[in-house]
């Protein structure tokens, strides 16, 4: 048994960048933007996995863990102490006794148990179920075979025991808003979706559907002196050009930049200093279906990687707003191997590999794509002539994003282009290629290789951090060799931040997801 | 009494139209690929997906689902959103007022600017005013709303600092003006052209010549003969444009973060929230039919020769 004690109060220092070592100012209004659509899906954050919704949820709710951008890992948030026992399968959380919901009631272990049981309701398809499934007995609740998760046990009001099905770090499973803790007596009420109650640093004030969410400081928040701002407004702004005008007009404090704006902001001396960028844990790729005969051959898949000039596309089309992918794990992954080099652009080698695989004249395949500017039709259009050069013809099948998600899950494709989360937990990310992972879960290429499974299983079993990292790097290198996908890029998230907004965290899981209690505005902010 | 029987007849005529729209939307969304389950989670257990479909009634045959939907609709129940689990009527109610604000302000702008512009242009055909008016009209019809909206934002918010560039704020005129003008420019241009054409045609009509030959002043000719007759044509165009504006509002709402029905509809389509899609389309259709009915009734007020037969 080993003991892991976490002093939560120390987090604030770790999260604050050295360059911003000024005294945070109390008061003011933070004006963030939600750039991924024209509305929030729901005020019940358990029901939605959209990055858009987590922007406001990070301020309103809290989960058992929280992402610490400075440390680059999840750390306990609602627990003061975590004790691991049972060979790494049993976690005992000594919960905070100073966490109050926005209705004034103190959080207890019952609220966590209630929230996790709710998420496993098998008639609702809550997206957080994929994380809670790691708790023993959770899957039985989902299947309707049990009413409560057997692996969750309340020791007392502020002590919770959690038994896991696998030896994993639960922090990676319980840090997103999908597993937010709701107040047990309120979360089930109809009124909750109109007026959500959370544990976060800001409480709900108003939602104007399709326009904004307004939150205000929760005075009983458990981190002393935080949050700093009085008010937080999250405005829905799906159009990049409109965000650009609003940002230049100082009406908003943050704006996610697309490739075109990224170039313009870099070139503008007044705006260059506002740019914050981070390598996010998303890998963009073209998945190849091994059931489609040519793609069953590793040499063909490798040939495709050699045939595409990825650097050219990233530089010219994506305007440098991406990092070249080597294999699956992204730059910010703890198991990323810096020594690994990406597939070089080598059409001659691609042709040779195709000839060796029995396709000297190439072949034709259907490529399913959405219209996404960073990993959709524009990229496919740029790749087509490159593949044509080595004899591979492409028939484009354009679908909308909701359809693409279904196509990918059901395997109804020859090839598709997608952006998939590839972190922050490298083990979980690589598990998407394990034979035991069903295709609809995240093994979209239906990748099955016993040698790969063996490496990954070994990584899962070891408690030696160094050995685990090495094994994960080996698994990542294995994928590079097998090339189940065309490794295109890792997303470079870019956000413009007004000079009066401080405390921005370079969160690689999603840059727009900010721990709002760390943000503050100085007196130069034009917002009242 | 003829007006009342006309009204009843027209109301009855709307029933098959509404039913046809409801059926079309229902069938379309039953066959398009993509499902609510796939938009909810990347990793849905197949058993859960099945139970979710059962719970939402998506595993019933199409005719059963349609029958249930119509039965609910008859009682004013638009169903419950798959995503937010809110009644669709409540979702639409929250969006209806901003949409009405936007559309009526856009329409007011387009009528107030477009009709006089067309009138003035028609009084001196081929002159400088006419040429300028028609340049404005053709430009207004040709410019893409998205681009126009951005330009308006750039000039009035960023450069002049007169108005906010986006958002609903308190719903006041300050926030409404830029989206309304963006939305209103295209109908304004159409009204200018329609008015010009109508006035030119009426000016050369026999009854206008007769009025002039009787010694009636030009002002009276224009006021009593030309304007009244042109109004019938303009009113028809206004009625048709209301429907168009509801469709075009989607782009403007998204650009200006305006919380209308248009953006609700688009998001609901993307998320396969079928009850919300059906409800939003139904409201738009009903609004279109109601406005056109109102226009039909106004014909009789403007021109007593028109009878409700």
Q: Which residue intervals of A85-143 are DSSP H helices?
A: 109-119, 129-132, 138-142
Residue in B with minimal Cα distance to A46:
B40
> What residue ranges in A209-330 does DSSP mark as E strands?
212-217, 231-236, 254-256, 275-288, 322-324
Cα–Cα distance for residue pair A361/A238, rounded to 1 Å: 44
Check CB contact under 8 Å for B254 and A238: yes
Angle (deg, nearest 10), helices A240-248 and A259-267: 30
Q: Tell me what the mean pLDDT of segment B86-99 comes to.
A: 92
Confidence of residue A7 (pLDDT cuts 50, 70, 90): very low
Residue A5: the pLDDT is 40
Q: What percent of chain A has pLDDT over 90?
A: 86
Residue A62, token pair as written in the block: 């809290």
What per-residue confidence (pLDDT) applies to B62?
87
In the prediction, which pLDDT does A133 show?
95
CA–CA separation, A473 and B42 (whole Å): 26
Which residues of chain B does A282 touch, with a Cβ-Cβ cutoff of 8 Å? none
SS3 state of residue A82: strand
Cβ distance of A406 and B33 shorter than 8 Å: yes
CB contact under 8 A, A442 and B49: no
The distance between the two most distant Cα atoms of chain B, rounded to a whole number of Å, is: 86
A127 touches chain B (CB under 8 A): yes
For β-strands A159-163 and A152-156, DSSP reports them as antiparallel
Are A440 and B44 an interchain contact pair (Cβ–Cβ within 8 Å)? yes
Average pLDDT over residues A432-454: 95
For residue A39, pLDDT over 60 is answered with: yes
At residue A247, what are phi and psi to the nearest 5 degrees? -70, -45
The answer on pLDDT for A72 being more than 80 is: yes
Flag whether residue A249 sits within 8 Å of chain B, measured between CB atoms.
yes
Q: Residue A402: list chain B partners with CB under 8 A.
A: 34, 38-39, 270-272
B34/A241 touch (CB, cutoff 8 Å), yes or no: no
Q: What is the pLDDT of residues B192-219, one digit of tens each?
A: 999 999 999 998 889 888 988 888 888 8
Count of residues making up chain B: 309
Poorest-pLDDT segment among A5-19, A206-220, A474-488: A5-19
Work out the mean pLDDT of chain A and round it to a whole number.
93
Which of chain B's residues have a Cβ under 8 Å away from the Cβ of A193?
84-86
- How do residues B109-126 score in pLDDT, each as one tens digit? 999 999 999 988 998 888
Structure-model confidence comparison of residues B101 and B47, the more confident one: B101
pLDDT of residue A402: 81
For residue A495, count other CB atoms closer than 10 A to its CB.
Answer: 21
Question: Residues A345-392: pLDDT tens digits?
Answer: 999 999 999 999 999 999 999 999 999 989 999 999 999 999 999 999
pTM of the shown model: 0.88
> Residue B40's closest CA among A199, A207, A145, A119?
A119
Q: How confident is the model at residue A507 (pLDDT cuts 50, 70, 90)?
A: very high
Give the CA distances from residue B229 to residues B125, B196, B223, B237, B298, in Å, rounded to whole numbers and listed in that order: 19, 13, 10, 14, 13
Q: Can you give the pLDDT at residue B177?
A: 96
- Summarised one tens digit per residue, pLDDT across range A195-242 is 999 999 999 999 999 999 999 999 999 999 999 999 999 999 999 999
Q: Check: CB of residue A31 under 8 Å from CB of residue A528.
A: no
pLDDT reading at A12 higher than 60: no
Check whether the bond before A304 is cis (ω within 30° of 0): no
Rounded average pLDDT over A409-431: 95
Q: Which of A34, A37, A52, A211 is the mutation pick for testing B, counting most B CBs within 10 A?
A: A211
Q: Look at residues A315, A437, A424, A507 and name the one whose alpha carbon lies nearest to residue B42.
A: A437
B47, B164, B259: residue with CB nearest A122: B47
Position B53 scores a pLDDT of 80
Please state, rounded to an integer, the average pLDDT across all residues of chain B. Answer: 87
What tens digit of pLDDT does each residue of A398-411 get?
A: 998 888 988 998 89
| Residues pairing with A68 in the sheet | A73
Cβ–Cβ under 8 Å, residues A281 and A423: yes
Q: pLDDT tier at A83 (50, 70, 90 boundaries)? A: very high
CB distance A210 to B263 below 8 Å? yes
Q: What is the pLDDT of residue B56?
A: 82
Residue numbers in A near B150 (CB within 8 A): 241-242, 245
| A276 contact partners, CB below 8 Å, separation of at least 6 | A494, A495, A496, A497, A504, A506, A511
pLDDT at B306: 67
Yes or no: say if A434 and A182 are a contact pair by the CB < 8 Å rule.
no
**Which ipTM did the prediction report?**
0.85
Torsion sign over Cα A169, A171, A176, A181: positive
Q: Please give the Cα distance from B103 to B114 (Å, whole number).
A: 16
- Positive or negative: CA dihedral B237, B243, B247, B248: positive
A245–B157 CB contact, under 8 Å: yes
pLDDT at A16: 41
């Amino acid at each position: 048994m080993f003991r892991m004690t976490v002093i939560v109060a120390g987090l604030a220092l770790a999260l604050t960048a050295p360059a911003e070592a000024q005294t945070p100012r109390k008061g003011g209004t933070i004006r963030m933007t939600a750039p991924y659509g024209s509305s929030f899906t729901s005020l019940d954050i358990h029901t939605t996995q959209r990055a858009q919704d987590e922007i406001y949820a990070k301020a309103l709710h809290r989960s058992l863990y929280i992402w610490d951008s400075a440390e680059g890992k999840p750390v306990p948030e609602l627990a003061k102490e975590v004790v691991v026992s049972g060979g790494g399968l049993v976690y005992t959380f000594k919960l905070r006794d100073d966490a109050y919901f926005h209705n004034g009631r103190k959080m207890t272990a019952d609220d966590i148990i209630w929230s996790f049981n709710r998420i496993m309701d098998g008639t609702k398809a809550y997206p957080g179920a994929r994380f809670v499934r790691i708790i023993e007995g959770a899957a039985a609740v989902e299947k309707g075979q049990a009413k409560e998760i057997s692996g969750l046990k309340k020791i007392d009001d502020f002590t919770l025991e959690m038994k896991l099905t696998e030896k994993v770090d639960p922090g990676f499973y319980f840090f997103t808003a999908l597993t937010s803790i709701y107040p047990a007596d309120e979360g089930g009420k109809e009124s909750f979706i109109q007026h959500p109650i959370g544990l976060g640093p800001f409480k709900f004030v108003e939602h104007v559907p399709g326009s904004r969410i307004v939150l205000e400081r929760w005075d009983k928040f458990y981190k002393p002196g935080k949050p700093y701002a009085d008010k937080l407004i999250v405005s829905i702004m799906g159009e990049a050009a409109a965000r650009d005008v609003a940002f230049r007009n100082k009406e908003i404090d943050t704006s996610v930049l697309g490739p075109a704006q990224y170039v313009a902001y870099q070139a503008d001396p007044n705006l260059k200093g506002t740019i914050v960028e981070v390598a996010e844990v998303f890998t963009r790729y073209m998945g190849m279906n091994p059931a489609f005969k040519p793609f069953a051959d590793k040499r063909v898949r490798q040939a495709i990687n050699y045939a595409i000039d990825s650097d050219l596309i990233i530089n010219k089309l994506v305007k440098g707003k991406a990092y070249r992918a080597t294999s699956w794990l992204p730059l910010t992954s703890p198991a990323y191997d810096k020594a690994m080099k990406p597939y070089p652009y080598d059409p001659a080698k691609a042709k040779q590999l195709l000839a060796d695989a029995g396709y000297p004249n190439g072949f034709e395949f259907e490529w399913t794509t959405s219209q996404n500017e960073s990993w959709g039709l524009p990229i496919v259009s740029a790749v087509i002539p490159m593949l044509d050069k080595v004899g591979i013809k492409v028939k484009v099948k354009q679908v909308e994003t909701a359809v693409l998600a279904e196509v990918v899950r059901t395997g109804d494709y020859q090839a598709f282009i997608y952006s998939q989360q590839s972190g922050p937990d490298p083990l979980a990310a690589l598990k998407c290629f394990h034979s035991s992972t069903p295709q609809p879960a995240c093994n979209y290429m239906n990748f099955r290789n016993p040698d790969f499974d063996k490496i990954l299983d070994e990584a899962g079993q070891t408690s030696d951090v160094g050995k685990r990292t090495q094994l994960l790097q080996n698994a990542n290198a294995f994928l590079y060799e097998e090339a189940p996908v065309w490794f295109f890029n890792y997303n470079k998230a870019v956000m413009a931040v007004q000079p009066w907004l401080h405390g921005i965290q370079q969160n690689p899981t999603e840059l727009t997801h900010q721990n709002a209690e760390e943000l503050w505005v100085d007196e130069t902010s034009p917002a009242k | 009494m003829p007006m009342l029987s006309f009204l009843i007849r027209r109301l009855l005529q709307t029933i098959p139209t509404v039913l046809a729209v409801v059926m079309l939307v229902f069938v379309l969304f039953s066959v398009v690929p993509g499902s609510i389950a796939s938009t909810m989670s990347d990793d849905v257990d197949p058993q859960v997906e099945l139970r979710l479909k059962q719970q939402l009634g998506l595993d019933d045959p199409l005719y059963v689902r349609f029958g249930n939907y119509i039965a609910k609709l008859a009682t004013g129940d638009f169903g419950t959103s798959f995503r937010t689990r809110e009644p669709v009527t409540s979702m639409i109610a929250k969006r209806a007022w901003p949409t009405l604000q936007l559309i009526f302000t856009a329409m007011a702008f387009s009528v107030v600017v477009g009709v006089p512009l067309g009138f003035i242009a028609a009084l001196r055909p081929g002159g400088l005013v006419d040429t300028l008016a028609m340049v404005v009209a053709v430009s207004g019809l040709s410019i893409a709303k998205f681009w126009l909206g951005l330009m308006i934002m750039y000039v009035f918010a960023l450069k002049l600092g007169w108005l906010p560039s986006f958002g609903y704020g308190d719903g006041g005129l300050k926030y409404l003006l830029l989206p309304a003008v963006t939305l209103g420019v295209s109908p304004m241009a159409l009204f200018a052209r329609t008015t010009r054409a109508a006035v030119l045609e009426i000016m050369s009509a026999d009854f206008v010549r007769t009025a002039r030959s009787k010694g009636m002043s030009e002002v009276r000719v224009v006021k009593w003969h030309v304007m009244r007759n042109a109004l019938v044509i303009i009113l028809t165009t206004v009625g048709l444009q209301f429907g168009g504006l509801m469709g075009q509002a989607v782009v403007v709402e998204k650009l200006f973060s305006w919380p209308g029905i248009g953006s609700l509809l688009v998001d609901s389509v993307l998320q396969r929230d079928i009850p919300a899609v059906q409800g939003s389309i139904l409201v738009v259709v009903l609004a279109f039919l109601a406005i056109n009915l109102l226009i039909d009734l106004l014909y009789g007020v403007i021109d007593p020769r028109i009878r409700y037969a």
